[in-house]
């Protein structure tokens, strides 16, 4: 019995770009046919992009997807193509169609509709009730869509229908725990059914989610045959031996650095690049304070977009240290970005003078500190408008969790790359970036194109060590440090992870060895500041419980 040759199209297919997505399918199908593949596979909802959200409520959008699908089918000869798309027949389904010999041979509907975390499939789709198989080059191939493989029944149905190989198309967002979960599920399905599994995942950024690719080949005995690189566009070639039920990857690209820091950094770069490029912005700008958060954000922006598309602005006041001025300038020069210094002391003082009569009888407090931050916000938004560059907010998850950020001040921005990155991770990423600074590619990719390409500055570090080593400070008053207002970040982040990702109670967290009063204070701050987070910029989701679609708490609540 001959082996089956297939090609997995691990590529980015943008939401709403129906014609462009179809053109990419057409091109990659031709490449796969020319390379001798009998089957080419595309991700979940290829034609619409994922998630299309309320675009699915527009009949014209569904009609456009169907029109492109029919045109693709008519042009598909000499190869079979499995394409994901929304399918409307009175009700709407998350579907995959097999295109072969000029027709849509059959259409399968996703059976298991996720409705947790960032997923909202039940809002838009009706579930399917059948697993489909097709004979391709003498091999019975079962077809499943994403969540279907996370449940035993759809795979079991396909195996009962004679499937030897399961092809699973996915739009599975990345987070720091996802790959281990995926592999455990696929190993279980393979061992339960005896079927080998070719798992194809989408790649690219879409609003608050990033898709990592990381496609997988799993043999019929549950062993992992191959892992595709993360955040890389690639046409992945594989062969399937039906006698042994084993898969073989053909020259898949390899990443030298597969550390969590390398993968997380690539996820953030992917999120920035795709948010900016897909929304048609010329570039970005950000306030560069001389602190670690803005320094890492600047490095990420340069790696995502190139130095020519990034502007950094230092806005000192009387409280800005020489260390901050020197660190910001050194980094801007090292990375080669457009750099401006705009002293806001006079502007800030004019606000104070104007408000003094209305402040009569009240002593100075955080109001004056926040006014400095809001003065910077006004300046940055003006520069963003004038130059057509999107403003990046630089705050991290630790700050957003406890509200250590100024609404309409340092929270100004249209995209927040570090929104789901804890402060302790910010430090780890900054150190990793310095160590990786001389690689030509961000993840040490040996071949093909990467979504994590790093800039390659000269011998100077991309993030100066004095910026990394200094005590963190907002510099809104004399000798201020973050720890004047917050517990040490290693303690704070550990409590936050227990409360946010772990959903543990205050008593449970204290039982882990944390001071009970500190736990109560931190939890109170998290719950109190939901109103701020609702007004914050979107940013890439990289944990299992990101603020926004993942974690939706009421603003008004008596629960403490």
Catalytic positions: 44, 110, 146
DSSP letters for 382-431: HHHHHHTEEEBP---HHHHHHT-S-TTTTT--SB-TTTT--HHHHHHHHH
Please count the helices (runs of H) and the strands (runs of E) in the chain: 17, 20
Rounded CA-CA distance 24/409 in Å is 42
For the chain, the first-to-last Cα distance in angstroms comes to: 65
- The string of DSSP codes covering 299-329 is HHHHHHH-GGGEEEEE---TT--HHHHHHHH
Assign 89 to helix, strand or coil: strand
How far is residue 426's CA from residue 398's CA, in Å, rounded to a whole number? 10
Cα separation of 372 and 49, whole Å? 42
DSSP state of 2: P
- Taking the CB of residue 530, how many other CB atoms lie within 10 A of it? 17
Distances (CA, A) of 540 to 140, 174, 543: 39, 10, 9
CA distance 494 to 547: 17
Helix (H) or strand (E) holding 165: strand 165-170
The answer to whether 387 touches 292, Cβ cutoff 8 Å, is no
Between the CA of residue 153 and those of 150, 157, 269, what are the distances in Å?
Answer: 9, 6, 37
Alpha-carbon gap, residue 146 to 199, rounded angstroms: 9
Half-sphere exposure of 72 (CA within 13 A, CB side): 35
What sign has the CA pseudo-torsion 300, 272, 261, 215? negative
542 close to 268: Cβ distance less than 8 angstroms: yes
């Amino acid at each position: 019995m001959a082996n089956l040759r297939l090609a997995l199209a691990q590529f980015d297919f943008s939401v709403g770009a129906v014609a462009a997505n179809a053109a990419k399918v057409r091109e990659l199908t031709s490449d796969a046919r020319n390379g001798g593949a009998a089957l080419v596979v595309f991700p979940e909802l290829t034609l619409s992009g994922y998630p299309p959200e309320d675009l699915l409520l527009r009949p014209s959008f569904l009609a456009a997807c169907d029109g492109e699908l029919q045109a693709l089918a008519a042009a598909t000869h000499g190869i079979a193509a499995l394409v994901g798309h929304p399918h409307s027949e009175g009700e709407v389904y998350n579907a995959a169609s097999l295109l072969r010999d000029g027709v849509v041979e059959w259409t399968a509907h996703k059976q298991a509709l996720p409705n947790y975390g960032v997923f909202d499939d039940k809002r838009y789709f009706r579930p399917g009730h059948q697993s489909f198989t097709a004979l391709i080059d003498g091999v019975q191939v079962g077809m499943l869509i994403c969540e279907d493989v996370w449940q035993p029944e759809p795979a079991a149905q396909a195996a009962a229908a004679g499937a030897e190989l399961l092809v699973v198309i996915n739009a599975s967002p990345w987070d720091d725990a996802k790959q281990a979960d995926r592999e455990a599920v696929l190993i279980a399905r393979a061992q339960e059914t005896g079927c080998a599994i070719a798992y194809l995942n989408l790649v690219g950024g879409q609003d608050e989610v990033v898709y990592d690719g990381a496609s997988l080949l799993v043999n019929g005995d549950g062993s992992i045959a191959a892992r595709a690189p993360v955040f890389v566009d690639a046409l992945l070639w594989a062969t399937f031996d039906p006698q042994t039920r084993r898969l073989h990857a053909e020259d898949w690209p390899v990443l030298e650095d597969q550390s969590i820091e390398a993968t997380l950094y690539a996820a953030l770069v992917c999120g920035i690049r795709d948010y900016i490029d897909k929304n048609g912005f010329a570039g970005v700008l950000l306030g560069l304070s001389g602190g670690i958060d803005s320094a890492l954000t600047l490095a990420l922006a340069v790696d995502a977009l190139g130095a020519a598309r990034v502007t950094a602005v230092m806005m000192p006041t009387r409280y800005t240290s020489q260390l901050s001025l020197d660190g910001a300038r050194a980094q801007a020069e090292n990375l080669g970005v457009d750099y401006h210094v705009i002293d806001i002391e006079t502007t800030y003082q004019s606000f104070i003078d104007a408000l003094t009569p209305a402040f009569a009888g009240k002593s100075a407090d955080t109001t004056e500190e926040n006014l400095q931050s809001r003065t910077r916000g006004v300046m940055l938004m003006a520069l963003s408008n004038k130059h057509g560059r999107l403003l990046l907010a630089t705050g991290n998850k630790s700050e957003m969790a406890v509200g250590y950020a100024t609404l309409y001040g340092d929270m100004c921005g249209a995209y927040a790359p570090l929104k789901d990155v804890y402060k302790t991770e910010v430090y780890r990423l900054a150190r990793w970036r310095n160590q990786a600074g001389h690689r030509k590619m961000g993840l040490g990719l040996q071949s093909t194109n990467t979504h994590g390409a790093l800039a390659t500055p000269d011998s100077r570090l991309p993030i100066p060590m004095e910026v990394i080593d200094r005590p963190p400070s907002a510099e809104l008053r004399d000798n201020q440090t973050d720890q004047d207002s917050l517990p040490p970040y290693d303690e704070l982040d550990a409590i936050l992870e227990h409360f946010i990702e772990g959903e543990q109670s205050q008593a449970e967290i204290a039982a882990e060895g944390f001071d009970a009063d500190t736990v109560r204070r931190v939890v109170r701050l998290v719950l109190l500041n939901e109103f701020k987070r609702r007004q914050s910029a979107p940013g890439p989701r990289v944990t299992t419980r990101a603020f926004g679609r993942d974690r939706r708490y009421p603003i008004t609540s008596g629960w403490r």
